Amino acid sequence: MSDQTKFLLSEHDLPKAWYNIQADLPFALPPVLHPGTKQPVTPDDLAPLFPMALIEQEVSKERYIEIPEPVREIYKLWRPTPLYRARRLEQALQTPAKIFYKYEGVSPAGSHKPNTAVAQAFYNKEAGTKRITTETGAGQWGSALAMACRMFGIELKVYMVRVSYDQKPYRRALMQTWGAHVVPSPSPDTNAGRAILARDPNHPGSLGIAISEAVEDAVTNPIPTKYALGSVLNHVLLHQTVIGLEAKRQFELAGVYPDVLIGAIGGGSNFAGFTFPFIGDKLKGNAPNLRVIAVEPAAAPSLTRGVYAYDYGDTSMMTPLLKMYTLGHNFVPAPIHAGGLRYHGMASSVCELYRHGIIEARAVQQLATFEAGVLFARTEGIVPAPEAAHAIRVAIDEAIRCREEGISRVIAFNLCGHGHFDMAAYERYLAGELQDYELPQAEIDRALAELPQVESA
């Protein structure tokens, strides 16, 4: 342990099952409601969009769900991922803390997202799906799914938010390299897209519009088509737990158990994937002192400043209603350079753990986040995705606290992706062109005034 930098598992150690936290939660997750009837959705409501295996995972109470062998075979291309001890960062901070990070940037798409993309493509293949549609903003989800669909021989159509399509040509090219059909959204290919283009041919697009297009395409296309989502839903969080299950074994190799776990939250999937297996220990009373911190941008502070209410998952009010901490489905985030963290809501299980005081949440500003990302790159070498840098910021703050208190704690965070496609953001940071955003309360109030009316369930 004393001088080891990487804690590696062999392919034999790759987990055989995902961990389902719903088996251990001391409370039930609130039901997902139909956007029309406001009654709990049934599997049949969801069947046009998702294969039944995924719908079943959404509500399963089984503690462990087997990872199908074809999925494990593909995981082996980059998994198990390394757990690092951040010795050079510790030295730079002069901290007695031991800092660890699990690195998901070694996947072909450069983030944790292929963990669920591969699983979703597999279950779709099994169900006879020939074609999948999805939306993407900055392109992290679209590129992960493009790779996964290619591996299972499924066609993929990606509705990419128009501004990102124009401003992020390399992620678009990455998706196209894996064979996906990528169109800027709003597109002329759907009713939703045509209606918007008729009013404004230069509309910049939004995730909400792209979701509407992808969903409309999935339910109307004559080829058997389904829709796929890269975060927020229970089955997505489930697939990501392969991260934390590996990490637990790696901490055994390191001979320590973490005191503080940290992850950045957009929709909650990389955070959940990394921390839920440990939170399972805590829920069983085996890790009473473990602290778990979810980190969000101050520009999109759903846990720290949102309200707990039923809301739509998207701007176009097409999706089912989810009970969550939300900033309102019409919330328009400031243009911060962490595209993956600008979502208005949050995964239900993450919200419930926060509401019950089992996890903590913290919001951090953009400049402090990039400062942490640059320090990490200059000490550990890896240039983190701006999303991941949110977790690094809080890991550094916790390590500084250890120094001030003269206490050595084991601090670990999930390095959910590398920043190689985000260099334009780093360039602007280094040129002094980025700024902090303090979200005015009036903006939150305005978006919250438009929450759907739901009889209190």
Ligand X SMILES: *Cc1c(COP(=O)(O)O)cnc(C)c1O
- Footprint on this chain of ligand X (rule: CB under 6 A): 111, 113, 140-141, 231, 264-271, 340-341, 385, 387-388, 416-417
Distance in Å, CB of 285 to ligand X, minimum:
28
Listed in sequence order, the residues at least 6 apart from 177 whose beta carbon sits closer than 8 Å to its beta carbon are: none
Least distance to ligand X, CB of residue 313, Å: 13
User: Measured between alpha carbons, how far is 454 from 457 in angstroms, rounded to an integer?
Assistant: 8
Tell me the C-alpha distance between 99 and 398, whole Å.
10
For the beta carbon of residue 130, count every other beta carbon within 10 angstroms.
14
What's the closest the beta carbon of residue 141 comes to ligand X, in angstroms? 6
- Is the bond preceding 186 in cis, omega lying within 30 degrees of 0? yes
- Two structure tokens written together for 157: 């159509």
Q: How far apart, in whole angstroms, are the C-alpha atoms of residue 273 and residue 353?
A: 14
- Shortest gap between Cβ of 206 and ligand X (angstroms)? 17
With respect to ligand X, which residue has the nearer C-beta, 99 or 416?
416
Q: Which is nearer to ligand X, 254 or 295 (CB)?
A: 295
In the complex, least distance from residue 98 CB atom to ligand X, rounded to whole angstroms: 24
Least Å from the CB of residue 84 to ligand X: 17
Residues 165, 330, 350, 100: is their CA dihedral positive or negative? positive
In whole angstroms, how close is the CB of 164 to ligand X at the nearest point? Answer: 13
Using alpha carbons, list the distances in angstroms from residue 73 to 70, 119, 309. 5, 11, 40
Q: Which of residues 321 and 341 has its CB atom nearest to ligand X in the complex? A: 341
Closest distance to ligand X from the beta carbon of 101 (Å): 13
Nearer Cβ to ligand X, position 258 or 386? Answer: 386
Closer Cβ to ligand X, 122 or 141, answer by number: 141
373 or 417: whose CB is closer to ligand X? 417
> Whose Cβ is closer to ligand X: residue 90's or residue 103's?
103
Q: Torsion over CA of 398, 111, 170 and 376, rounded to 10 degrees?
A: 30
We find the least distance from the C-beta atom of residue 390 to ligand X, in angstroms, to be: 8
Residue nearest to ligand X (CB): 266
Question: Shortest Cβ distance from residue 29 to ligand X (Å)?
Answer: 17
Nearer to ligand X, 83 or 97 (CB): 83
